Amino acid sequence: MSGLNNLLELFQLEQIDDDLFRGVSQDLGFRSVFGGQVLGQALHAANQTVSDERISHSLHAYFLRPGDAQAPIDYQVRRIRDGRGFTTRHIEAIQNNRPIFDMLASYQVPEEGADHQDSMPQKVPGPEGLKSEVELLKALADKLPERMRAGLEADRPIETRPADEFDKLDPKPRDPVKYVWVRAAGRMPDDPRLHRAVLAYASDFEMLGTSMRPHGVSFFQPDVLAASLDHALWIHRPFRIDDWLLYSLYSSNAHGGRVLVRGQFFTQDGTLVASSTQEGLVRVR
């Protein structure tokens, strides 16, 4: 089964009770559950309680505890508001009887309004001809820990192609900016709610790594500890996650062990479809 099919299976949540859903977890070789998985599953759990004509436009989440990749996660959805134009849902992720994640998601009935956006970054090479993240890591495979080498052989649900090559085993300081092309690794169903859940999943990629660039460190170094603390995502315009999107990332601050990273998703024609922000914990022991 392909990596994308495995990911879509993660979004086939089991309904346990009214507004209570259960999702299985995927072990990606990290110390805990990948935060993007919890973001995507939580949003898709909330989707099940909202009428199809209302579209998710924002989510604001806190990561409270590390999740166990070997155990299922329950998502309790609370119906905070159903207004004429907007709907609000609160989602709590529970594992082993303890909350590990807390999120608010907002939905809107589509309407017309004023329109403007940031411009797409200039002089960023397109995805064609760039090496994928997996190809770049395979070139370093003999230097990677065994658990990471095993992960290189698995099909990835999201294809990522960095616009610049960055040696994660021997990083050199550079500006806190990163451009990565992302798309689902295969054709997606036409359900726009599913595309938004997968975008939430992908929005957790590369954020904390961008904040490490000025300091010449990376996740691949054993003395680096990094974890997401909170995450926000705003979805501005329609998109397909199985078309290439440029994820433009910038870290504006690092202090006291905490970092702040901002991201924007652009289509190849320059349309801004989503924005993200994440605060994280980065410690170099």
Show which residues are catalytic: 204, 228, 278
Residue 76: name the closest of 56, 98, 53 by CA: 98
Structure tokens at 60: 């604001």
Amino acid of residue 270 = G
Nearest to 237 by CA among 108, 127, 121: 108
User: How far from the centroid of its chain's Cα atoms is residue 234's Cα?
Assistant: 12
CA torsion 271→196→159→140, rounded to 10°? 110
Structure tokens given for 42: 């939580």
CB 41 within 8 A of CB 210: no
Rounded Cα distance, 57 and 55, in Å? 6
Angle between helices 192-202 and 35-47 (to 10 degrees): 160
* Alpha-carbon torsion angle 35, 37, 38, 40, nearest 10: 120
63 residue type, one letter: F
* Encoded amino acid at 92, one letter: E
Sequence letter at residue 85: G
**Tokens standing for residue 199:** 């975008």
CA 28, CA 66: separation in Å to the nearest integer? 14
Where helices occur in 142-228 by DSSP H, the ranges are: 146-152, 192-202, 207-212
